[in-house]
Amino acid sequence: MFSGESTVIAMDEMFQIARPPPRPMQGGGGSGRFDVSKVVERPYFDDVFPRNVTAIVGQETVLKCRIKHIGDRTVSWMRKRDLHILTSSIFTYTGDGRFGVLHPEASDEWNLRIEYIQKRDAGIYECQVNTEPKINMAFMLNV
């Protein structure tokens, strides 16, 4: 049987994720069995892409964000200097048409594309996942 006080710690890439232990199945007559298919992995960032990116004025750049085990959660990109939400899921929420999200079908990448880079685009951008609590990864764009 499992104690409600124990915690299982798993290492995924470089992130430590704490999850509760699996619970015994209902109606199992106290057998202590649990349904493995009900165990849900928490989302985490696959930190394989550069997070300090240098772009050239007038060119296009892409900030690459990969999230594993996203499930039904939503990914958003935010510009920190003005807390402006640029994209959420596959939708763009800025009037500046230079910004957009690149999400290949069946992919775990949610990339922010910025066309015709300008000096004012320099700064910190965040890739966010709407977990509770929210998880995010910051990217520094240098122009």
Reported as a single tens digit per residue, the pLDDT across 91-103 is 999 999 999 999 9
DSSP states of 49-105 as a string?
Answer: S-SEEE--TTS-EEE--BEES-TT--EEEEETTTTEEEEETTEE--S-TTEEEE--T
Q: What pLDDT does 41 receive?
A: 83
User: pLDDT exceeding 70 applies to what percent of the chain?
Assistant: 72
Q: Whole-angstrom Cα distance, residue 72 to residue 119? A: 36
* 17-61 per-position pLDDT tens digit: 334 444 444 444 455 665 666 666 899 999 889 999 999 999 999
Question: Kind of pairing, strands 84-88 and 91-92?
Answer: antiparallel
Taken in order of first residue, the domains within the chain and their CATH numbers are 8-38 (no CATH), 44-142 (2.60.40.10)
Q: What is the mean pLDDT of the chain?
A: 82
Contact indicator for 21, 7 with CB cutoff of 8 Å: yes
